[in-house]
């Protein structure tokens, strides 16, 4: 009895392990953004979507899950010959996404390697029809052509190429040195042009400032001359009005005239005096005035009249 009981226990344990293994192989959980291909007896059965699913043990087989997210693959530099027989090294980056898991599994053995080789051959065809200058300045055109060819070719593989980018285009070292010298010469030329333009603008602004300053100075001098002339005219007018209002006689005018004569000798460079002819008339007027004063004190001579 003990031997039969021990054997029964072993059978139950083995059966329990078998049931656990069957359950583990039957239940599968597919993560989000993943897809699984199920083969039943070696033949395609269905495509698993994210979530929980059940498989028939020992009959169904789940292949490695496929990533449905957009993938980025950077390929190593590839030597490409341009139209002018120059070898350039080009780095490419391809953005693609699996749209049909079944086609990506059964239509191509290694879709990443296939995309790389297709990108290389297409790149050589596209760049081979361009010279070096066009290849360096036409990246958008090259990207568009590569994307169109790759998307069309990979469509049957269940892959959609969304974008192709050229990371770098490296010409030969000798060409790089020549390009560097050309760019340096171009920068020097632009710097010289900018310096000349700056000097020209500076000279123009300086001349314009000097012209404006001269105009303003001339206008100020003219205004000052006008104001000075107006002041002198008003002063003369006031003196003239004051003289006529005071009704001066001949003796006062002669006396004022004599007072202004010393001012003629105030200059340090005056070595010659010119006596105006009016001096005699002024002296006569003063003499007459003095003589008239003395005559007023004596009796009036016969045959004469009173002083005028």
Q: How far is Cα 159 from Cα 270, in angstroms, rounded to an integer? A: 114
List pLDDT tens digits, range 249-298: 666 666 666 666 666 566 555 555 555 555 566 556 555 555 554 444 44
Q: How many helices (H) and strands (E) does the chain have?
A: 8, 9
Shared domain check, 156 and 119: yes
What single-letter DSSP state applies at residue 169? Answer: E
* 164 and 140 share one domain: yes
DSSP string, 3-65: HHHHHHHHHHHHHHHHHHHHHHHHEEEEPTTEEEEEEETTEEEEEEPSEEEE--TTTEEEPPP
Task: With beta carbons less than 8 A apart as the criterion, state whether 120 and 75 touch.
Answer: yes
Asked, for residue 162, whether it belongs to a domain, the answer is: yes
In three state form, how does the secondary structure of 291-307 look? HHHHHHHCCCCCCCCCC
What's the CATH code of the domain at 117? 3.30.479.30
Q: How confident is the model at residue 26 (pLDDT cuts 50, 70, 90)?
A: confident
Given pLDDT bands bounded at 50, 70 and 90, which one contains residue 4? low
- Domain assignment of residue 132, yes or no: yes
Residues 61 and 139 in one domain: no
Same domain, 78 and 43: no
Question: H or E segment at 299?
Answer: none
Domain housing 129: 70-171
Last-in-domain residue among 66, 94, 116 = 66
Task: List the structure tokens of 83.
Answer: 């139209």
| Residue 4 resides in a domain | no
What is the spatial distance between Cα 150 and Cα 114, in angstroms, rounded to a whole number? 10
Whether residue 6 lies inside any domain: the answer is: no
- Residue 242 maps to a domain: no
Residues 55 and 82 in one domain: no
The rounded mean pLDDT for the chain is 79
Q: Which of 171, 205, 227 is the last residue of a domain?
A: 171
- Closest to 48 measured CA to CA, from 12, 102, 125: 102
End-to-end CA distance of the chain: 190
State residue 306's pLDDT score: 37
Give pLDDT tens digits for 219-238: 888 888 888 888 888 877 77
Cβ distance 67 to 98 under 8 Å?
A: yes
Residue 206 lies in a domain: no
The two tokens of residue 17 are 């392990």
d(CA 84, CA 94): 27
Residue from 142, 141, 163, 145 nearest 90 by CA = 142
Higher per-residue confidence, 11 vs 150: 150
Count of domains in the chain?
Answer: 2
DSSP secondary structure code for residue 57 in this structure: T
173/301 Cα distance (integer angstroms): 134
Structural domain ending residue among the three candidates 171, 194, 224: 171
Same domain membership, residue 147 and residue 128:
yes
Is 290 inside a domain boundary?
A: no
* Res. 44: pLDDT tops 90: yes
Q: Do 48 and 91 fall into the same domain?
A: no
User: Phi, psi (5° rounding) for residue 210?
Assistant: -65, -40
Residue 155 domain-assigned (yes or no): yes
- The predicted-structure confidence for 169-200, as pLDDT tens digits, reads as follows 888 777 767 767 777 888 888 888 988 888 88
């Amino acid at each position: 009895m003990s031997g039969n009981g021990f054997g029964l226990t072993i059978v139950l344990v083995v059966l329990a392990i078998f049931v656990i293994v069957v359950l583990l192989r039957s239940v599968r959980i597919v993560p989000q953004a993943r897809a699984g291909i199920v083969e039943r007896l070696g033949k395609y059965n269905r495509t698993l979507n994210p979530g929980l699913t059940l498989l028939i043990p020992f009959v169904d087989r789940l292949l490695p899950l496929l990533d449905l997210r957009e993938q980025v693959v950077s390929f190593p530099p590839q030597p490409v010959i341009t139209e002018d027989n120059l070898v350039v090294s080009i780095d490419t980056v391809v953005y693609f996404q699996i749209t049909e898991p079944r086609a990506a599994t059964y239509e191509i053995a290694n879709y990443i390697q296939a995309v790389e080789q297709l990108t290389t051959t297409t790149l050589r065809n596209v760049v081979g029809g361009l010279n070096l200058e066009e290849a360096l300045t036409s990246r958008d055109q090259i990207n568009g052509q590569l994307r169109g060819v790759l998307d069309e070719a990979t469509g049957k593989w269940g892959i959609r190429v969304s974008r192709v980018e050229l990371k770098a285009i490296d010409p030969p070292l000798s060409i790089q040195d020549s390009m560097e010298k050309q760019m340096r010469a171009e920068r020097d030329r632009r710097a010289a042009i900018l310096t000349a333009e700056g000097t020209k603008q500076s000279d123009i602004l300086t001349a314009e400032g000097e012209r404006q300053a001269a105009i303003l100075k001339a206008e100020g001098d003219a205004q000052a001359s006008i104001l000075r002339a107006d002041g002198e005219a008003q002063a003369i007018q006031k003196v003239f009005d004051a003289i006529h209002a005071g009704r001066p006689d001949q003796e006062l005018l002669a006396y004022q005239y004599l007072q202004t004569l010393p001012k003629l000798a105030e200059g340090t460079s005056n070595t010659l005096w010119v006596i105006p002819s009016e001096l005699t008339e002024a002296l006569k007027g003063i003499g007459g005035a003095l003589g008239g004063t003395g005559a007023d004190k004596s009796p009036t001579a016969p045959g004469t009249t009173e002083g005028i």
